[in-house]
């Protein structure tokens, strides 16, 4: 399922907020939920955009159908370009999980 940049931004922010809230409850941390949502949405959207870009660049090196003399239905499609793009996009989205959310200031 592909949700695009906006959908991945929403999913990334919800995932980061849930993770930050879980850490707050389990470990007694004071992670900011808004900060976690911001980091998650930035990395979610950038992962989707960079994955699509890399997929387009990889499609030049690995075309879907190589033999133009044979109909496309009789050829096995080359999945390399979409897999490279998905892998790169997932790595870019997952890079946000290594950044801790900002801490709330106790007053």
Per the structure, the complete domain to which residue 74 belongs is given by 4-98
Domain tally, the chain: 1
- Answer yes or no: is 104 within a domain: no
- Answer yes or no: is 105 within a domain: no
Secondary structure (3-state) at 14: helix
Yes or no: say if 93 and 44 are a contact pair by the CB < 8 Å rule: yes
Per-residue pLDDT tens over the stretch 71-92:
878 888 889 999 999 999 999 9
Phi, psi dihedral angles at 103 (to 5 degrees): -85, 145
Q: Which helix (H) or strand (E) holds 77?
A: none
- Answer yes or no: is 103 within a domain: no
- Answer yes or no: is 106 within a domain: no
Per-residue pLDDT tens over the stretch 5-31:
999 999 999 999 999 999 899 988 888
- Answer yes or no: is 87 within a domain: yes
- Answer yes or no: is 45 within a domain: yes
- Answer yes or no: is 107 within a domain: no
């Amino acid at each position: 399922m592909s949700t695009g940049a906006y959908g991945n931004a929403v999913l990334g922010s919800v995932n980061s907020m849930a993770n930050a809230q879980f850490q707050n409850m389990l470990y007694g941390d004071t992670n900011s939920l808004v900060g976690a949502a911001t980091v998650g949405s930035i990395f979610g959207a950038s992962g989707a955009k960079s994955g699509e870009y890399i997929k387009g660049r990889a499609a030049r090196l690995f075309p879907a159908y190589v033999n133009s003399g044979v109909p496309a239905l009789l050829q096995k499609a080359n999945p390399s370009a979409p897999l490279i793009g998905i892998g790169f996009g997932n790595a870019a989205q997952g890079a946000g999980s290594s950044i801790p959310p900002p801490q709330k200031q106790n007053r």
